[in-house]
Structure 1
Amino acid sequence: MRVTEIWRFPVKSIGGETLLEAELTDLGIAGDRGWSVYDVETGNTLTARRSPDLLFASARIIDGDVVVTLPDGSEVREGDDAALSAWLGREVELRAAGEHNLDVGGTYEVPLDAENDADWVSWQGPGGAFHDSPKSRVSLVSESTMRDWDRRRFRTNIITDGSDEDGFVGTSISIGDARVDVVKQIDRCVMVVRPQPGLGRDLDVLKTINAERETFLAVGGLVTAPGSISLGDEVRPA
């Protein structure tokens, strides 16, 4: 099994960028989910579960700064909250992880009823970066597991050839110079059905994952030995 794609998503729920190489830190790929869109009225971290429009923007890191490209092609940098607010139709702020409290993560929401976007519940994420779970700072999936679904639906950091990444759960793997303890399978929610550029709403994706994969697609883990990873690196037992 070898790495075929590396993805970094600088702003949670906003499209990301592909990389030829990356640094794995104890928080995952350096810069991944390093920023989020904060909803001033609710105090929640805004995600595409609640605001699907986020999926139509993209973000990249240039010289350490985040740049968000909006659907009309205009670019927004950190501090230009007025432009983000005007686009989303609500008062928001682009916040860096740790800007207010390094130990406190975002407050997230998800609808238990995905078909009707109803029965919302919330939870507190881990600090340091805007990840949903303290048990998953970096994610991995094989091309085989994704079938012919568009990889943008899953926001996974590392894509590989081969198959059976689920077998890594409970073990340690090495990728390049880094080591990762694979802790869990990643359960999927309404995010995977949301429309994106060139993709319509597709409830069948989530229904299939629920029926055939018991809600799980991709695996998540914690970086126990930071290091560099590159395209073509072998994924092997540590």
Structure 2
Amino acid sequence: MRIETIYRYPVKGLTPEAMGEAALRAGRAIEWDRAFALAQGDCGFDEAAPAWRPKTEFLCLARNIEAAALEARFDPDRSLLTLVARDGAALDANPLTASGREAIGGFIAAALPTAMRGVPRFVHVGDEHSFCDHDGQVISLIGLGSLAALSAVVGSPREKMRFRANIYVEGIEAWAEFGWIGRTLAIGAARLVVVERINRCAATCVNPGTGLRDANPVKELMTHFGHVDCGVFAEVVTPGRIGVGDAVTVMS
């Protein structure tokens, strides 16, 4: 088994960024993964005491299909977040400053007015918090064999980016990753303990290319396989650098 692709999602609910390699840190998500989020006006997130909140309190594809129309790119070397709307409107701003976050929040609210509830806040609280759907800092992995099995039974491709994983693994049997729960994965010097399966939500209904809801993978998974899970969450226990093409080994 090998890593086919690696992605991070700097802004929760917005577009991914492909990575050739990543430096994994113990107890942390991939650097800058879900580092930023747009908190809806009814969100209970407190920057002074950051704690996990349900994804529906933020801009998210499960509830806000409009988010698929907004492209996000983050350059950590320049501390610069670039947002581009479908109509060509664009913004460059520093999301690590209060003024930058205010500008970004205003841009997103103007670009996606129908997705807003109340007065939104663009939030970031540093390395100690990730706006992941999991209540801890984790890395998500999906075996491409599982996606191939789903595509085969429904008779249509189910694009991998519907599932917004960090690492996609090739050379693996369908659903084999479910057998990794409680086991340790070795990728180079890094070690990851697989903690649980990922149950899927309505975000997977959104076609990443068109931005339209054109399928229901949650229903398809339940109908054909008796569960709504696709992929697994893992926690990094030993740091190390990983890259596309690296072998993934399940340790005994």
Aligned residue type for 1:6: I
Richer in helix (by share): 2
The question of whether the paired residues in 2 share the 8 Å contact of 1:135 and 1:184 is answered with no
2:125 to 76, 83, 97: 97
Query: What's the offset of the Cα at 1:98?
Result: 4.3
Query: What's the offset of the Cα at 1:59?
Result: 2.1
Aligned residue type for 1:66: L
Q: Which residue of 2 aligns with 1:141?
A: 142
CA distance in 2, matches of 1:52, 1:236: 37
Q: Which residue of 1 aligns with 2:52?
A: none
Query: What's the offset of the Cα at 1:172?
Result: 0.6
The question of whether the paired residues in 1 share the 8 Å contact of 2:144 and 2:170 is answered with yes
The number of aligned residues is 211
CA distance in 2, matches of 1:176, 1:67: 32
> Does the residue aligned with 1:3 lie in a helix, a strand or coil?
strand
> Does the residue aligned with 2:23 lie in a helix, a strand or coil?
strand
Query: What's the offset of the Cα at 1:27?
Result: 2.0
Query: What's the offset of the Cα at 1:225?
Result: 1.1
The answer as to 2:231 corresponding to 1:218 is yes
Q: Which residue of 2 aligns with 1:155?
A: 164
1:85 to 106, 109, 127: 109
2:70 to 57, 63, 73: 57
The answer as to 2:26 corresponding to 1:2 is no
| Residue pairs, 1:193-212, within 5 angstroms | 193-198=205-210, 200-211=212-223, 212=225
CA distance in 1, matches of 2:33, 2:237: 17
Cα distance, 1:166–1:135 mapped onto 2, change above 3 Å: farther
Richer in strand (by share): 1
| Residue pairs, 1:159-238, within 5 angstroms | 159-163=168-172, 164-198=176-210, 200-211=212-223, 212-238=225-251
Query: What's the offset of the Cα at 1:136?
Result: 6.1
The answer as to 2:70 corresponding to 1:46 is no
TM-score normalized by structure 2? 0.77
Cα distance, 1:55–1:199 mapped onto 2, change above 3 Å: closer
Aligned residue type for 1:179: R
> Structure 1: where are the runs of 5+ without partners?
103-127
The question of whether the paired residues in 2 share the 8 Å contact of 1:36 and 1:97 is answered with no
Q: Which residue of 1 aligns with 2:132?
A: 131
Query: What's the offset of the Cα at 1:61?
Result: 2.0
CA distance in 1, matches of 2:213, 2:12: 20
Q: What's the RMSD between the two structures over aligned residues?
A: 2.0
Cα distance, 1:213–1:92 mapped onto 2, change above 3 Å: same
TM-score normalized by structure 1? 0.81
Query: What's the offset of the Cα at 1:28?
Result: 1.5
Larger radius of gyration: 2
> Structure 2: where are the runs of 5+ without partners?
45-56, 149-156
Cα distance, 1:56–1:217 mapped onto 2, change above 3 Å: same
Cα distance, 1:75–1:227 mapped onto 2, change above 3 Å: farther
Query: Once the two structures are superposed, what CA deviation does each residue of 1:133-166 show, in whole Å capped at 9, x if it has no partner?
Result: 1356101111111123111100000011122222
Q: Which residue of 1 aligns with 2:88?
A: 73
